[in-house]
Amino acid sequence: MISAPPDIFRVGINLPQVMDSPHGLIAFAVFASLSGLWLAKRFSVAKNIPGPPSASFFTGNLLQLVAPETGRDWQLNANKVHEGVARIRTLFGGSALLVNDPKALHHILVKDQDIFEEWPAFTATNALLFGDGLVATIGDQHKKQRKMLTPAFSIKHLRGMTPLFVSIARELEQHISSMVRTQPIEIDVTPWLNRFALEVIGKGGLGHSFGKLSQHNDFSAAAKDLAASVSVLVPGAPLTPWFKYLGPAQFRRFILKLIPWGLLQRLVDIVNIMDAEVHKIFAAQQKALDAGVSDEGEGKDIMGILPTDTTSGAIARLLHLLALNPDVQSHLRHEVVQAFHHQDEAIDFSNVSALPYLDAVVRETLRVYPPIPTIFRQALKDTVVPLLHPITGVDGEIMKEVYIEKGTDIFINILGSNHHPKTWGGDADEWKPERWLTDLPDSVLRNRELSGVYSHQMTFLAGKRACIGFNFSQLEMKVALAILIQSLEFSLPKDKEVGWNVGLLMTPVIRGSNSIHGQLPLVIKKLD
């Protein structure tokens, strides 16, 4: 297994060190060239839209948006102070729009979705990391891939996969139970949840096992580090679409190897490890197909690159919240135990979905703490987007619509939308599962009708690029939680405080730690 050097978690880059190295000078020249190309294509954003002041000419508000531990609060505050549309600063004095107004999001994601395409930086980064898969394509190619995959995510198909989910979840529970059988023990649950989610994707999506849940391996370690590593590089994402012009992949890798930054080198290693493993899986499947052999039990291919960190992160957040709220944990355990009287009883999809409190806990967690807080779009032509809630312009004018120029970057504030006080009320920031057990406010119902989103929230987006695996993810979450909560009790360690870093994904970390990678220590007790 690859061991990371001590400086791998350093977020900064030593510019003098780069400039003193001949290889560093070459890399810096390439970076400067990419910056110049990006600046030449940068478009302005309507200056009458208010927003937070820029923190830096070079990075604008981007470092605030992804700042460890404080980025989430900054995103929430930006749209509350500046209402449903805010102008934020990006690289080198550029501008973008941070949007959470319900009507504006409906136009961007649904009604005018052909005008607002996936952010080029997002698709380019995914293409460089994973190849031209579903999350890296646009237009007709994306539609074709999505059409092919959609049947695999149907409710009917997922019902047939439930025994597989249950089997893997029980394996997870048994491993953890064996560790805490005699006394409560503090365990970092993030590697366990990551391997669980990876195994669900592997067996459920590829008919392939990535190894025992109790054992570390290069691939699971790489998958665990991927999202956190990429998150640090988000402020530089606007430059990635130009990276493909540097020539073939081998030359691009050569350029990256010249940059003396441990975190970037770790990202290169991660891509190499994952690429090699996926090619091995593909070769094995191709051999089986050529031989006319298939695994009908587990080989119902879904896709090989569904991000495991989104679901494992959501389950981690659930366990953390239950540890913070023992009364909710007790209530949930009572419901699950009453529904499934014997621990060995098989759990099917309909039974899990019919548990109202379990469903409420999952829905509220996804609303208040969406695993992906922000997603991006770019305007393909000049357009006008109406607002449900008018804003006040810099000049004092009341604006009921916003003019958006071609090329404008749009930051979809999923987090802000799910916390919008005019939609969810004055307690929008509070985690209250019981809100789903009563009638929702009319404002929430109107938002559901307007946006066409799942469960009245923006967590899974809407339109042609909405999350294709939202049913898969929720089933995985509910099955895992229903099995773990029956026999295990979760509480917080006394000597550690957990925070959550915002970036590409929300990641749990120990406050005061210099590590950017996930850590969620919980005290786990075995119940009779």
CATH of the domain at 514: 1.10.630.10
**Does residue 358 share a domain with residue 222?**
no
- Please give the residue range of the domain that contains residue 229: 15-44+218-291
- Provide φ and ψ at 24, rounded to 5°: -65, -35
Averaged pLDDT of the chain: 82
**Does residue 518 share a domain with residue 474?**
yes
**Weakest-pLDDT range from 48-57, 113-122, 442-451:** 442-451
Contacts of 280 (CB under 8 A, 6+ apart): none
| pLDDT for the residue numbered 450 | 67
User: Are 21 and 260 a contacting pair, CB within 8 Å?
Assistant: yes
Q: What angle do CA 285, 290, 291 make, to 5 degrees?
A: 95
| pLDDT for the residue numbered 37 | 46
> pLDDT band at 396, cuts 50/70/90?
very high
- Encode pLDDT of 105-121 as tens digits: 999 999 999 999 887 77
Q: Is the pLDDT of residue 526 over 90?
A: yes
Q: What is the largest CA-CA distance in the chain?
A: 71
> pLDDT band at 67, cuts 50/70/90?
confident
Q: Measuring CA to CA, how many Å separate 180 from each of 174, 185, 195, 354?
A: 10, 6, 19, 30
Residue 470 CB coordination number (10 Å): 17
**Weakest-pLDDT range from 187-196, 198-207, 402-411:** 198-207
Decide if 468 is inside a domain: yes
**Does residue 234 share a domain with residue 351?**
no
Last residue of a domain, one of 250, 272, 291: 291
User: Are 85 and 420 a contacting pair, CB within 8 Å?
Assistant: no
Quote the CA–CA distance of 316 and 508 in Å, as a whole number: 8
**Does residue 520 share a domain with residue 462?**
yes
**Does residue 523 share a domain with residue 471?**
yes
Task: Give the residue-averaged pLDDT of 91-99.
Answer: 91
**Does residue 363 share a domain with residue 226?**
no
Task: Give me the number of domains the chain comprises.
Answer: 2
**Does residue 259 share a domain with residue 189?**
no
**Does residue 441 share a domain with residue 358?**
yes
Last residue of a domain, one of 273, 291, 309: 291
Decide if 387 is inside a domain: no
Decide if 57 is inside a domain: no
Mean pLDDT comparison of 4-13, 144-153, 284-293, highest-scoring range: 144-153
Task: Give the residue-averaged pLDDT of 412-418.
Answer: 94
- For residues 177, 182, 187, 189, the Cα torsion angle rounded to the nearest 10 degrees is 10
Task: Give the residue-averaged pLDDT of 154-166.
Answer: 84
Q: Look at 469 and 402; give whichever has higher pLDDT.
A: 402
| pLDDT for the residue numbered 248 | 82
| pLDDT for the residue numbered 275 | 83
> pLDDT band at 11, cuts 50/70/90?
very low
Residue 421 CB coordination number (10 Å): 12
| pLDDT for the residue numbered 392 | 94
**Does residue 522 share a domain with residue 435?**
yes
Last residue of a domain, one of 237, 271, 291: 291
**Weakest-pLDDT range from 250-259, 283-292, 344-353:** 344-353
Decide if 410 is inside a domain: no
> pLDDT band at 229, cuts 50/70/90?
confident
Decide if 188 is inside a domain: yes
**Does residue 236 share a domain with residue 185?**
no
Residue 344 CB coordination number (10 Å): 6
Decide if 334 is inside a domain: yes
**Weakest-pLDDT range from 41-55, 93-107, 258-272, 334-348:** 334-348
| pLDDT for the residue numbered 38 | 46
Decide if 178 is inside a domain: yes
Give bridge partners of residue 398 from the DSSP assignment. Answer: 392
Q: Is the pLDDT of residue 214 over 50?
A: yes
Q: Is the pLDDT of residue 293 over 70?
A: no
Cα 127 off chain centre by = 17
| pLDDT for the residue numbered 431 | 97
- Encode pLDDT of 304-329 as tens digits: 444 577 889 999 999 999 999 999 99
**Does residue 20 share a domain with residue 40?**
yes
> pLDDT band at 233, cuts 50/70/90?
confident
Quote the CA–CA distance of 461 and 77 in Å, as a whole number: 21
164 annotated among ligand-binding-site residues: no
> What single DSSP character describes residue 247?
-
**Does residue 222 share a domain with residue 210?**
no
Decide if 58 is inside a domain: no
